[in-house]
Structure 1
Amino acid sequence: MAELVYPPVIGAVRTLFKAADLRIDLQGTEHVPERGGAVLVSNHIGYLDFVFCGLAARPAKRLVRFMAKESVFRHKVSGPLMRAMKHIPVDRSAGTGAYNHALNALRSGEIVGVFPEATISGSFTLKTFKSGAARLAQEAGVPLVPMALWGTQRLWTKGRKRDLGRSHLPVSIRVGAPMPTDADEPAEHITERLRARVQELLESAQRAYPMRPKGPDDSWWIPAHLGGTAPTPEELVTRA
């Protein structure tokens, strides 16, 4: 079936990013399979992460079907777009339907995008990964494709105003080699390996990033362990 909505949306996003003069450093796109199913797995630090993950798949001419919370599909603007782009709604109180939807998509040769932290990391460090991505890849017999984003939190993240104007902000994206999954390996072990690989990619993206705050009050987006003022994971737990 023809994709009537997804390609124009991608074109509009690219125009928006060009107008904002975003400096996107994208490496590793050769690791995105040109055909067949795969689970694309990324860290999650901002509301626009799915857009940048999707851009990483475009050199392979692939469209990614993202798993996203069901409330996004109920929104009067985003809902029709999400459904038309064949993304996958996730009702966290009844996750079996979303899991089966994603599994069928993988078996039909689609790339499914998953954020295994399940929510945005307020510390901008990796949270614990849920095992759903590994289980999907195992059951569908497809690889996991790890990737990491850095800088997207400066555009729009939880608790901060959007900065989508002509910001000239850099964004780093790193895609790693596909990770095959063994049906006999516990999903928890695969998830540990996957998280370690995403961590390596994240550190690579951070090292390459021109990590200079725009002013004395602009270190909020840098994790505490890198000298910034973002809350630590422990501080976030205390606040909760």
Structure 2
Amino acid sequence: MAELVYRPAIGLALTLFKAWDLKIDCRGSENIPRSGGAVLVSNHISYLDFIFDGLAALPQKRLVRFMAKESVFRHKISGPLMRGMKHIPVDRNQGEAAYAHALDSLKSGEVVGIFPEATISRSFTLKSFKSGAARLAQEAGVPIVPVALWGTQRLWTKGHPRNFRRSHTPITIRVGEAIEASKDKYAGAITRQVRERVQELLEAAQRAYPVRPKGPDDTWWMPAHLGGTAPTPEEVRAADAH
């Protein structure tokens, strides 16, 4: 299948990364299967996460089809790109169509990317995981590959202005070993296993991250439990409820 949009988009992204002099530390890409379907599951802390998750799959020569909210596909700029790269639109009021689309992609040997937290975590900690990724992997008979990202929130995240002029920003990516989604197991149990593994990878990425806040005005991107000033999960829930 010709990739008239995806591969040029990758080339553009790599050019921008070089121009920004991003310090990308990606480990574990070999855990992404070189062929066949797989569900790639990642934490979500930035609007750019799908780009860096896709970057992790490049050494294995895989293109990831991400599930993303349907409104992104209606945008005059992002819409043509998302459709051209064959990503999967998700209408939260009609999730069955997106599920069927993703299932077909997996059965045809594609890698499908899912953010099981559904939205960006403003606390930069893991939110609860929805079970859709586990159910898809079970039904398609494919493995789940856990991924953790760190540093992407410093470029562009919810509640903060994007900063594409920030150069030399480290981005840490950790890809874990594939997890079998056995049909004999409860989808909720697989989801908990995947979340635990993503948490482990996230903590490893945070430990490996080479930069710490430079002063009181640079602590916003660190979670509260690590000494930063990002809102706690409890504060985020309270604000959402309000």
TM-score (norm 1): 0.99
Unmatched 5+ residue regions in structure 1?
A: none
Q: What SS does the aligned partner of 2:26 have?
A: strand
Q: Aligned pairs, how many?
A: 240
Q: Distance in 2 between matches of 1:239 and 1:137?
A: 34
- The residue aligned with 1:114 is 114
Q: Distance in 2 between matches of 1:15 and 1:125?
A: 30
Structure 1 segments (4+ residues) deviating >2 Å: none
- The residue aligned with 2:193 is 193
- Of all paired residues, the percent bearing the same amino acid is 72
1:37 aligns with 2:54: no
Q: What SS does the aligned partner of 2:39 have?
A: strand
- Distance apart, 1:29 and its partner CA: 0.6
- Distance apart, 1:58 and its partner CA: 0.2
- The residue aligned with 1:138 is 138
Q: Distance in 2 between matches of 1:165 and 1:123?
A: 23
Q: What SS does the aligned partner of 1:93 have?
A: coil
- The residue aligned with 2:97 is 97
Q: Distance in 2 between matches of 1:166 and 1:152?
A: 11
**Conserved? CA contact 1:21–1:166, under 8 Å:** no
**For residues 87-236 of structure 1, what are the structure 2 equivalents within 5 Å?**
87-236=87-236
1:46 aligns with 2:46: yes
- For 1:117, the aligned partner's letter is E
Query: What is the aligned-residue RMSD (CA, Å)?
Result: 0.7
- Distance apart, 1:166 and its partner CA: 4.5
- The residue aligned with 1:10 is 10
**Conserved? CA contact 2:68–2:90, under 8 Å:** yes
- For 1:200, the aligned partner's letter is E
Q: Distance in 2 between matches of 1:11 and 1:127?
A: 32
**Conserved? CA contact 1:116–1:131, under 8 Å:** yes
Q: What SS does the aligned partner of 1:24 have?
A: strand
**Conserved? CA contact 2:22–2:170, under 8 Å:** yes
Q: Distance in 2 between matches of 1:134 and 1:171?
A: 27
TM-score (norm 2): 0.98
